[in-house]
Amino acid sequence: MNFFKKILFILALLLFFIGGVKNSLAYGTCSKNSKCQPSNEGCVSSSLAGVCGFSGNTGCAKAGYPYQACNPTGCANGYTTVSNDNMAHTISCGCCSNTGDTSADTIVCYRKTCSQAEGTSCYDSPVNGVVPTSCSQYGTSYAPGFDYVARDGTCPTNKICCEKLDLCKDSGMCLNGINCGADGCSCTTTKGIAWNLGYDSSRTCTSTQKFWKCNTAMNGTCGSTNDYYFPSEGSPQYGPAPNYTKIWSTQAECELNCCDLSKNNWTDRQCVKKQPSSCSNADSHCLGVGYTQDATSTTTANDTCHGKKVDTTPTCGIANNHSFSFTPPISSLCSNGTFNSLTDHGGAWTWACNGTNDCGASKTVNCGTDAINNLPECTCDSSIAAGVCSGHTFNQPAVTGNCKTKFDCPGTKTAVNAYCSSGSCSPQCGQWNNATCLPGNDCGTQCGNLSCGGSCGTSDTGSPGMTTLSSPVETIISPKVYASGVSVVSLNWLKNSDSKASYYNIGVWHDEPGKPDIRDLDFDTSDINTVSTKTGFLTPGVLYRWGVNTKNITCLGYIYSGIYESGWSTLGYFKRSETSITTPTLTFNNFIGEVVPPDSTDKNHICQSEFKNGTDQIISVIATSSDTNAVSAYLRMNNNSSNPLLIGPVSYINNKAIFPIKDDGSSYTSDPYNVVAYSVNNLGETSPDSGSKVLKIWNCEVGVGGSFKKGIDNNPFTDFTNLTPLKFNEITMNIDELNSNYNGILIFGNTYNYSFKKNNFKGTSSMEVSDINGYFTPKDKLLIDSNITNPYLQTHTVSANFILYPYSDPWWQTDGNVLVKNEIKNNIPSDKNISTRGLVAATAGNITNNLSFVGDLNDNNNGYEYFYKNYYVNLGQGVTATTVGTGQTGVVFIQDLDINNDITINNDQFLMVVVKGNINIGVGVSKIDGIYVANGNININGKSDQQLNINGSLYSSINSINITRGFTTESKNNTDPAVNIKYNPGLLFTMPGKLMKVLSGWKQGI
Amino acid sequence: MNILNIRKKSGGQVVLIVLLASAVLLTLGLSVSKKATTDVKIDTDQELLKKAFNSAESGIDYFLGTGKTNYTETKSTVKVDVKSVGVSASIDSGTKISSGNPFLFWLVDHFPNGDIGASYYKGTVNLCADSSFNGALKIDYYYNDGSSYKVLTRVYNTGTNTVIGAIQDGFNSIKCITLTDLLNGNSLLLAVMPIGDQTKLTLNNGGLGQDFPLQGQDITSTGNVGGVNSQVKVSKRYKVPSFMLNSITAGGSVLNQ
């Protein structure tokens, strides 16, 4: 054996081994009166011992035993049938145990799986003894292109629903009646116009919404698949509701689309989709070829379209049988008895006859022929005498007509074909005869028309006119372009008014390299009134075309092999954009276009100085987009105190859309806005929002206020006589003099100089401004900015206090006694004393002193003449002179004295100047020593930055001393006296002794 | 009644009336005569007294000019009596000092020419006012601290607040103020001014200090003319013009505007 032969031998052994294992698993042994083990699916036990297995149609029977036809209704209680299992093979009929063997044989209910054809069923069959909890437990042995999917919640408890997975529907591509292409999807049934449940599986269908039979509303739960209904258990429609049955929202709609009650009086009519059919004109309203009627419908002989589907390989039998209006002759049913009742078994009849049994007792005898089971015609009670029944067998008679003949299956009934004598009946029973009706012919030969009494005119024959598209209608050169976000678009056309138009066929195509004319949509409308549908999922960038072909099916029955159509309308072209609109950027710009960055708080507000344009505050909010398809932009502004604002559209010009914003007092609230921009392109597509920016829009008004304080002691300043009004630039503040404060309104971003009315005010002032943390710092000018008030708060205030240092009027001061006969006036500060240590006495005036007396304490009235006589004449003391200067001592007598230079003496010297007239002390004098006596006034006037120090005494015998001298630098008047008279006690003791030895008084003696 | 009867009865009444009128006139005449005699007598005395006063004044001048204390002229004689004031434990103003008039108590002696001497009073002083005094006393205390002249001022109120800011409790029950804080040397002068009331001022050493320096002289001159005497008493004290005790003194006003 060469090498290859060895290999082949080994492979053969492996195959034999595998086959043996498989066979051993596939087949089991069934004993009589026992059932096959659960592992032997597909097998039922029979009354005969044998081998269970899957072996083709041999089913459950032992090999070599004949296959028995089932009678679904004839099974004894406790037995059931096995329907299609959709496995690799098909068992047309299940097995039943032999009648009478009911106690021993138990039929196991094998699982039912979802049928490929019907899609959905609810089953409770266990798999290997376990009730499945999901469809996946049923396996995946579905037809190619199908999968299972659970429809949880749609089946009763302990049952599970399996449904063919329709990729088209379940992926959402069949929304709104869109037919999917040949990609495995098969949305062959479109949604109803008024029935748009979407995919909300939780939605409950109300009884008034759904009609699958025209006169019966449905109760139950909407399925997750559009247009399909899964009735609830217990509802009238539970169980037999056909899959893919069109659900209509109203009875009228159901009737309009399905049935024509005007022609029929059915009370339980199933509404199925109206389809083009080869039925005759008279019947086309109802069912088309290939569609079945409800099995329970009551049919009539001329209801030719309500027959069963014509099989291409017809098999006679009950499934294809058809009932006709036929009743056996009752008079011949009972030979020796009287007729009791007749039962129609769907083409075969049984009846009962009243007779007398062998015992002579009256007895009702069941008669008739069970043709299906080939049972004896009459199974009478053994106690009943034979011959009661007629012995006849009544089968369906042949029906003849001009157009159709439905043949019975004459001959001997066999186990294989109960009705046909052989398998070659032609035509088969229940099969239509074909007939051809030509336009213009009368209907004498219409199929299914027994009488052929109708007629068909020529007016509705032929092709209808072409339909005009409504949208999209763009051409191949300039197709309609939809936004990238639009995956499905509407197709609209104008209703075709041609009376020949019956419905529309809509086509959508696109081309691919090597695959031209790929049709994406092939959709027939249900009527001529439907003028809109939708595409399926559009691939971005693909150029689609679409059109409408109008069809005429009114006399479809005449031409069995074709229909009239208008041909395609002018095609419209469209595409879905490949690119989406880009997000714009958002900037806040000033009026000259400069971008104003956020401030230190990462925000912007309209009162920023950068937004100032003259007296206005204007923001140019600019959305910038690099997307050349962006045509306009919007602003959306949100804050906490108002409804969102949407501003726009504003067209893009040079990629910029500008939104001028100015506070008009009403359009905006003062809470900061979060501002975003978005673009809209020429396809109507909206971009994502730009990044959000914070913007506050307000009137820029800031409340300013503060207090007036005295700089000396920081107490409230109350003397506003010479200070009002207070102005910031030209804005006058409101002053509350009683409380020493003020308030007013200023504008954010402006700089203000403050001013007082200074007509009589002498002094200085300073301003201190609080920052946002409450710290005051001196400021020369008031700049209203974010350092001193937070622009993003609801209220905006600024605190600015004024510290006032009024200039004092010139004043004088001394350290000695002041005795004034009349009045003292001195502008001395209130905290100062006129005399630092002496007594101040006067009749009136502002005597501000620690030691004071109001009254005249001046006993002096000696003037020039007195001193001249007593000192100069009597004592020879003193000199006369015209002026006095430094170096002069003693007593000097002068008529008038102007002192313009300093006069000083030594500490041990004495100077007394006695003036007959006035003494005037000039501003250039800063120091005078000595005692100065004048009959006239002593005047000390003018301004000088030098303080005048008089070290001695001033004495005006009968006149006044006027001291108005002040400092040139007026602020010095606040703290220092311009004239300081410092009493010199030494002059008393440097005075010539001769002048001291005077008579002090006399009196007459006794 | 006839007319004659009437006339007889009326004649007696007339005589009585005449006699009464004569008596009245006589009385008036005698009175006038007495007054005239008295007036002559008064006029004579006044004339002599005036001459005596003039002689006494002339005696003061004579003393001040010559230092002599006696001289005689025709029909008149003059005698001058000179007494030193001070140099004792107590000195006084002699008379009541009116409000606003300062009175000087020297605490330092003077040279003969009147210049300030170098002998200083040392010790506590009591300054007393009249018991009825109801004003204030301003006291200017002059002293020399060794390098320069200084002055301190105090005001003492009695019962009422005469002077604002004055010391209220400085007087004792006998209206005396004890000044205990005078310098123990170099004290020069106490210038005391009554305010609001008049009083005689007395300064004593309280029995603890030395005598006060010489304050001056009291000069009494007695003139006699025709047996009529007249006295003139003059105090010759060391004195300065009172405005020199003040830094500002005005007979009018002191104005600043």
Half-sphere exposure of A427 (CA within 13 A, CB side): 17
The total of structural domains in chain B comes to 1
Query: Rg of the Cα trace of chain B?
Result: 31
A782-783 and A693-696: which strand pairing?
unpaired
Residue B37 has pLDDT above 60, yes or no: no
Q: Whole-angstrom Cα distance, residue A657 to residue A126?
A: 69
Strand order through the sheet with A693-696: A604-605, A693-696, A673-681, A630-638, A645-651
For chain B, give the percent of residues with pLDDT over 90.
33
Q: Is residue B10 part of a domain?
A: no
Higher pLDDT among residues A794 and A495, named by residue = A495
Contact A819 B248 (CB under 8 A): yes
Q: Whole-angstrom Cα distance, residue A375 to residue A369?
A: 7
Residue A493 has pLDDT above 80, yes or no: yes
Q: What residue spans of A217-276 are helical by DSSP H? A: 251-257
Question: How does residue A254 score in pLDDT terms, banded at 50, 70 and 90?
Answer: low
Count Cβ atoms within 10 A of the Cβ of residue A569 and give its class: 0-12 exposed, 13-18 middle, 19 or more buried. Answer: buried
Q: Whole-angstrom Cα distance, residue A304 to residue A282?
A: 10
- In the beta sheet, which residues pair with residue A801? A768
Q: Which range, A130-144, A422-436, B31-45, is most confident?
A: B31-45
Q: Whole-angstrom Cα distance, residue A340 to residue A899?
A: 169
Q: Quick one: average pLDDT of A329-358?
A: 64
Contact A1003 B111 (CB under 8 A): no
Q: Whole-angstrom Cα distance, residue A981 to residue A811?
A: 11
Q: Whole-angstrom Cα distance, residue A213 to residue A588?
A: 65
Q: Whole-angstrom Cα distance, residue A358 to residue A360?
A: 5
Contact B240 A820 (CB under 8 A): no
Q: Does B232 touch chain A (CB under 8 A)?
A: yes
Give the 3-state secondary structure of residue A453.
Answer: coil
Q: What is the dihedral of CA A808, A812, A816, A820, to 10 degrees?
A: -110
Q: Is residue B155 part of a domain?
A: yes
Higher pLDDT among residues A295 and A809, named by residue = A809
Q: Whole-angstrom Cα distance, residue A1000 to residue B234?
A: 8
Residues 115-174 of B with CB under 8 A from A: 115-116, 136, 138, 140, 142, 144, 148-153, 155, 162-166
Q: Which among B46, B57, B95 has a CA at the least distance from the CA of B231? A: B57
- In the beta sheet, which residues pair with residue A367? A351
Q: What pLDDT does residue A760 have?
A: 62
The pLDDT tens digits of the residues spanning A220-242 come to 444 433 344 444 444 444 333 34
Query: Which amino acid appears at position A392 of this protein?
Result: H
The chain A residue lying nearest B220, using CA atoms, is: A1005
The pLDDT tens digits of the residues spanning A139-194 come to 433 323 333 333 333 333 333 334 444 443 444 333 333 333 333 333 333 222 22
Is the distance from CB of A377 to CB of A367 less than 8 angstroms? Answer: yes
Mutation target to probe the B interface, by most B beta carbons within 10 A, among A818, A860, A871 is: A860
Residue B136 has pLDDT above 60, yes or no: yes
> How close, in Å, is residue B74 to chain A by CA atoms?
22
Q: Whole-angstrom Cα distance, residue A700 to residue A746?
A: 8
Higher pLDDT among residues A32 and B115, named by residue = B115
Q: Is residue B20 part of a domain?
A: no
Question: How does residue A767 score in pLDDT terms, banded at 50, 70 and 90?
Answer: very high
Q: What pLDDT does residue A257 have?
A: 53
Q: Whole-angstrom Cα distance, residue A809 to residue A806?
A: 9
Question: How does residue B203 score in pLDDT terms, banded at 50, 70 and 90?
Answer: very high
Residue A798 has pLDDT above 60, yes or no: yes
Give the 3-state secondary structure of residue A751.
Answer: strand
Q: Whole-angstrom Cα distance, residue A353 to residue A937?
A: 170
DSSP labels, A564-623: EEEEEPPPEEEEE-SSPPPPPEEEEE-TTS-B----TTS-EETTSGGGEETTEE-EEEEE
Residue A470 has pLDDT above 50, yes or no: yes
> How close, in Å, is residue A876 to chain B by CA atoms?
14
Q: What pLDDT does residue A374 have?
A: 29
Give the 3-state secondary structure of residue A838.
Answer: coil
User: Running DSSP on this structure, what letter comes out for residue A923?
Assistant: T
Q: Whole-angstrom Cα distance, residue A634 to residue A641?
A: 21
Q: Is residue B31 part of a domain?
A: no
Q: What pLDDT does residue A822 have?
A: 93
Contact A839 B153 (CB under 8 A): yes
The pLDDT tens digits of the residues spanning B141-163 come to 999 888 889 999 999 998 777 89
Give the 3-state secondary structure of residue B112.
Answer: coil
Q: Quick one: average pLDDT of A509-518?
A: 84
Q: Which range, A111-120, A151-160, B58-67, is most confident?
A: B58-67
Q: Whole-angstrom Cα distance, residue A169 to residue A273?
A: 18
Q: What are φ and ψ of residue A710, in 5° steps?
A: -85, 130
Q: Quick one: average pLDDT of A493-500?
A: 90
Query: Which amino acid appears at position A311 of this protein?
Result: D
Q: What are φ and ψ of residue A823, in 5° steps?
A: -130, 150
Contact A996 B240 (CB under 8 A): yes
A630-638 and A673-681: which strand pairing?
antiparallel
Q: Is residue B185 part of a domain?
A: yes
Question: How does residue A327 score in pLDDT terms, banded at 50, 70 and 90?
Answer: low
Q: What pLDDT does residue A23 have?
A: 32
Residues 209-228 of B with CB under 8 A from A: 216, 220-222
Residue B16 has pLDDT above 60, yes or no: yes
Among the partner residues A823, A845, A989, nearest to B149 by beta-carbon distance? A989
The chain B residue lying nearest A954, using CA atoms, is: B248
Q: Which among A670, A676, A671, A604 has a CA at the least distance from the CA of A640? A: A671
Q: Is residue B251 part of a domain?
A: yes
Element (H, E) at A355: strand A349-356
The pLDDT tens digits of the residues spanning A649-673 come to 999 998 999 998 988 888 898 899 9
For chain A, give the percent of residues with pLDDT over 70.
52
Element (H, E) at A170: helix A167-170
Give Cα separations from A483 to A486, A546, A574, A581, A683 (angstroms): 5, 18, 11, 8, 5
The pLDDT tens digits of the residues spanning A816-858 come to 999 999 999 998 888 889 999 999 999 998 887 889 999 888 7
- Structure tokens belonging to residue A600: 């230190």
Q: Please state which of the ranges A326-335, A439-448, B200-209 shows the lowest mean pLDDT.
A: A439-448
Q: Please state which of the ranges A544-558, A599-613, A807-821, A873-887 shows the lowest mean pLDDT.
A: A544-558
Residues 168-207 of B with CB under 8 A from A: 188-189, 193, 195-196
User: Running DSSP on this structure, what letter comes out for residue B65?
Assistant: H
How high does pLDDT run on average in chain A?
Answer: 65
Q: Whole-angstrom Cα distance, residue A688 to residue A679?
A: 8
Residue A890 has pLDDT above 70, yes or no: yes
Q: Please state which of the ranges A82-86, A848-852, A960-964 shows the lowest mean pLDDT.
A: A82-86
Q: Is residue B34 part of a domain?
A: no
Q: Quick one: average pLDDT of A889-912?
A: 94
Locus of tokens 């000195």: B91
| Angle at CA of residue B233, ends B230 and B239, nearest 5° | 160
> How close, in Å, is residue B121 to chain A by CA atoms?
16
Q: Does B100 touch chain A (CB under 8 A)?
A: yes
Question: How does residue B112 score in pLDDT terms, banded at 50, 70 and 90?
Answer: confident
Among the partner residues B195, B240, B247, nearest to A815 by beta-carbon distance? B247
Q: What are φ and ψ of residue A972, in 5° steps?
A: -65, -25
Question: How does residue A757 score in pLDDT terms, banded at 50, 70 and 90?
Answer: low
Question: How does residue A253 score in pLDDT terms, banded at 50, 70 and 90?
Answer: low
Residues 52-81 of B with CB under 8 A from A: 53, 56
Q: Is residue B219 part of a domain?
A: yes
Element (H, E) at A173: none
Half-sphere exposure of A480 (CA within 13 A, CB side): 18
Sequence-ordered strand ranges (E) for A483-584: 490-493, 503-512, 515-524, 532-534, 543-552, 564-568, 572-576
Q: Which among B158, B154, B181, B153 has a CA at the least distance from the CA of B168? A: B158
The pLDDT tens digits of the residues spanning A268-288 come to 333 333 333 333 333 323 333
Residue A105 has pLDDT above 80, yes or no: no
Give Cα separations from A184 to A145, A170, A217, B234 (angstroms): 6, 12, 33, 156
| Residues of chain A found within 8 Å of residue B116, distances taken between Cβ atoms | 989, 993
Contact A1000 B110 (CB under 8 A): no
Size of interface A-B (CB pairs under 8 A): 250
For chain A, give the percent of residues with pLDDT over 90.
30
Q: Which range, A48-62, A108-122, A137-151, B179-193, is most confident?
A: B179-193
Q: Does B254 touch chain A (CB under 8 A)?
A: yes
Q: Whole-angstrom Cα distance, residue B2 to residue A795?
A: 133
How high does pLDDT run on average in chain B?
Answer: 84
The residue range of the domain holding B124 is: 77-256
Q: What pLDDT does residue B61 have?
A: 83
Q: Please state which of the ranges A572-576, A775-779, B152-156, B160-164 shows the lowest mean pLDDT.
A: B160-164
| Residues of chain B found within 8 Å of residue A855, distances taken between Cβ atoms | 195-196
